[in-house]
Chains A and B, each alone.
Chain A
Amino acid sequence: MTEFRVPSGGRIDRATTYRFTFGGTSYTGHPGDTLASALLAHGVHATGTSIALGRPRGIGAAWAEDPGGLVQIEEPFPEPMLLATTVELVDGLSARGIPGQGRLADVPDSARYDAKHAHADLLVVGAGPAGLVAALTAARAGARVVLVDEQSEPGGALLGSADRVDRGPALDWVAAATAELATFPDVLHLQRTTAFGHYDDGFVLALERRTDHFGSAAPRHRSRQRVWRIRAGHVLVAAGAHERPVVFCDNDRPGIMLAASARTFLHRYGVLAGRDAVVFTTDDGAYAAAVDLADAGVRVHAVVDAREVAPLHWRAECERRGIPVRAGQVVAGTEGTDRVSAALVAGPDGGEPERIACDLLLVSGGWNPAVHLFSQARGRLHHDDGLGAFVPGETLPGTSVAGSAAGVFDLDGCLRDGARGALGALAELGIDARGATPPPVADSDPERTPPRVLWRVPGDERTQFVDIQRDATVADIARAVGAGMRGVEHVKRYTTIGTAHDQGKTSGVIAAGITAELLGVPVGQLGTTTFRPPYTPVAFAALAGRNRGALFDPERVTAVHDWHVARGAVFEDVGQWKRPRYYPLPGEDMDAAVLRECAAVRGGVGILDGSTLGKIDVQGPDAPVLLDRLYTNMMSTLKVGMVRYGVLCGATGWCSTTAPCCAPPRTGTSLHHHRRRREGARLDGGVAADRVARPAGAPHVGHRAVGHVPGGRAAVPGRDRRGLPRRRRLEGASASWRGGTRTCPASRCGSPASASRASSPTRSTSTPGTRRPCGTGSSRRASRTASPRTAPRPCTCCARRRPTRSSGRTPTAP
């Protein structure tokens, strides 16, 4: 049994022991622990040092709002800047504290990441009391529900409390609700899944962590993380609330912790965060922590309540346990080196503070509803002066907020608010929810005494830390205001407060409050900074998913790619296409190879694999009219089997592209590739809709291979007026052989039929009726014996021949 672990209780499996190392020292923990709870069980609070001042930093909260406990994971896979509070403990874990920043892995990440889509009527974010009731209510009404929660098990705040629901332990109700949700086929319930971004029209991105909690036993086929792309008719945010601290001098020492987090460490992990505690609060909530910790054996030396009058109920509870309550006093500072050793408690009038020795200082300055996802959807916030918190200030279509995220801070209210939120969403979706069972009831909380909004205790501003990760103090805010900053966004950028790993989960609202104090305006008028995605850090690897390496951008190769490779082509990237650039012989550089190729084409003939260029097939009765509208020259007079080059213009007269237009049995134009998409869209309807009576269809035919045959001896087969074959010499012109879009009919190939034979047109006058798919039948033999006029020809991709390099001819024309 480790020193600070209580003998029983908690959500951990004491029968199994995990071994892990932190900073080179070996420790033990249990399944169900986080790295933070396992360290606290050994009395380790300090994890690292701060980035600018090198001051000791430690675990300050129990989940993602912790600004202090950053660690570097070394094993099983190196990862920087993770919170000890959110790393689930696995056997063999190796980690260390960091000086404010981590180190990226220098080995390749072999894990897989993927993405998945989900569609739902209702997305519920958060499986705490409000979220569970909402999901159950909607599921019972027959709605398709997605429920996501970022922790390892459902329950939310109930996991860290001793609350009761329906006259039984709250976690029994959580287990029953979870089991019932699992019976609905249209409910998707994901744990370890953080909804980190909320976008337009009910689109939410969530990150699921799928393998890390297995440690070395993780299944290899399973992706490590998955981005869920959820599209929901309604998004119900039940994300809970973050406790916020109060700023005082030297408030950054390890051993200073949010009060409810210490309660969570006790109830969920069976860990005492210290032995001698002082509690500093402005609200009722921290009394529960003080009482629970005292019951578990912690010596609570004082509850320092900044309010003039301490709440009656809690005062009595404290008296029963012998805990002194100091109403109207504040913690003005702390002592200690790498761990807090004493709290300095001062009266309302200042004066000499009293020193109370402690190894744990719990702080509670009230609660900030986790309105991030509501704010990301452009929901406006308003400051509730009674609660001392920013809460959703308007109703948005398709988005609602329930539970403590909406400023409801008692359990019974959260349960009722979850049901209310779900019924409202179902009504908006048009799903009948009459006959819904009422939500469970919880023991009502003792009457709440209004909290006092206290952002900071007066003192030396230079040691009053607002953003503990950025080492930004009250003095920094004062300097920003002194420099003329009047808005929270400006102060944020001037001081860097809220720009660290935690994105200001604890510091953002405090910074706004202190700025408002310095400016002499109400904090509600000043507002908060904009909440922006992601809610918690997301690895680029997860966002990239499978789109890495060769899959990042598709590589397109032409039908005769293998032919080019076999002849030693050097490729260049043309968009997604691999286009052969030149064909060096051994010892040749690019200039020599290009010169040799040019000479060969001038004196003979060459083939350009034009497949990488865009092709647009224009069909329909008015296709010639459409082409006449696009080209400056007349295309409707083009005879079948002929090709004509032309310039395409818009109404403004600007040349949009130049492209040959061919009239094979079907009309088609070939357009240069980078304009294909735009010109295709123009052909689709831009011109046709207005000016062509019978619109023409114009699908892209990017899969079709094209060969252009330039060269001094290139010839176009055709027929003269008497219908006899003839040869026509082309002088320096580029032509597509026989219309350029002749396709090898084999669908798997799609290369130009007989393009390799274009230099001997008398032997390649195959007609569409006689073409035969390559690889079907013995076409090679048939071509030797049958009449040249009718012989089917293999396409170039199948006619693998060694280039006759010694002959000095271009390797593109074997």
Chain B
Amino acid sequence: MQLIECPWCGPREEVEFHYGGQAHVAYPADPQALPDEQWAQYLFFRDNPKGAFAERWSHAAGCRRWFNAVRDTATYRFHATYRPDQPRPEIS
């Protein structure tokens, strides 16, 4: 069972966490002005890389706060976790 570092609580077991999809997907500034295709891009299209991926996670069975994480989708290894108001760290 993996340990995931919650930015508020510290390392906790993975069963306490809930996955929330790709991070840093901003709500469009003016949704009304978007053509359908771009609106659909916002709604339905997400990256699916092999390797480092910035994701949203929720410490659902702990402090219940959301945070972001950079995780390797091939090895499951968490490279960094950070608060939502922080920028994505550079992962070498």
Contacts and interface: CB of A to CB of B under 8 A. Distances in A.
Interface of A: 199-201, 203, 231, 651-652, 677, 681, 684-686, 689-691, 699
Interface string B1-23: 11100000000000000101000
Nearest to A201: B3
A652 B43 contact: yes
A203 B2 CA distance: 8
Contact of A684 (B1, B2, B27, B58): B58
Give the 6 A-B CB pairs with smallest separation, nearest first. Answer: A685-B66, A200-B2, A201-B3, A690-B27, A203-B1, A652-B43
B60 A685 contact: no
Given A199-B1, A201-B3, A681 B18 contact: yes
Contacts, number: 37
Contact of A201 (B2, B27, B42, B84): B2
B45 to A, nearest CB: 12
Contacts of A691: 27
Contacts of B66: 684-686, 689
A651 B43 contact: yes
26 contacts: A199-B1, A200-B1, A200-B2, A200-B3, A200-B76, A201-B2, A201-B3, A651-B27, A651-B42, A651-B43, A652-B43, A677-B60, A681-B18, A681-B60, A681-B64, A684-B58, A685-B58, A685-B65, A685-B66, A685-B84, A686-B20, A686-B66, A689-B84, A690-B27, A691-B27, A699-B64
A121 B87 CA distance: 33
Contacts of B84: 685, 689
Contacts of A199: 1
Given A201-B3, A689-B66, A681 B27 contact: no
A691 B43 CA distance: 15
Given A199-B1, A681-B60, 17 more contacts: A200-B2, A201-B2, A203-B1, A231-B3, A651-B42, A651-B43, A681-B64, A684-B58, A684-B64, A684-B66, A685-B58, A685-B66, A685-B84, A689-B66, A690-B26, A690-B27, A699-B64
Q: For B18, B66, B84, which residue has the most chain A Cβ atoms within 10 angstroms? A: B66
Contacts of B42: 651
A201 B26 CA distance: 33
Nearest to A229: B1
Contacts of B2: 200-201
Contacts of A689: 66, 84
Contacts of A681: 18, 20, 58, 60, 64
A417 B18 CA distance: 42
A682 to B, nearest CB: 9
Nearest to A690: B27
Interface in B64-88: 64-66, 76, 84
Given A684-B64, A684-B65, A201 B43 contact: no
A686 B68 CA distance: 12
Contacts of B58: 681, 684-685
Contacts of B27: 651, 690-691
Contacts of B3: 200-201, 231
A201 B64 contact: no
Contacts of A685: 58, 65-66, 84
A231 B84 CA distance: 29
Contacts of B20: 681, 686
A691 B64 CA distance: 19
Nearest to B39: A651
Contacts of A690: 26-27
Nearest to B64: A684
Contacts of B65: 684-685
A231 B2 CA distance: 10
Contacts of A699: 64
A115 to B, nearest CB: 13
A231 B44 CA distance: 39
Contacts of A684: 58, 64-66
A199 B76 CA distance: 13
A691 B44 CA distance: 19
A757 to B, nearest CB: 36
A684 B18 CA distance: 13
A231 B12 CA distance: 11
A352 to B, nearest CB: 59
Contacts of A652: 43-44
A681 to B, nearest CB: 5
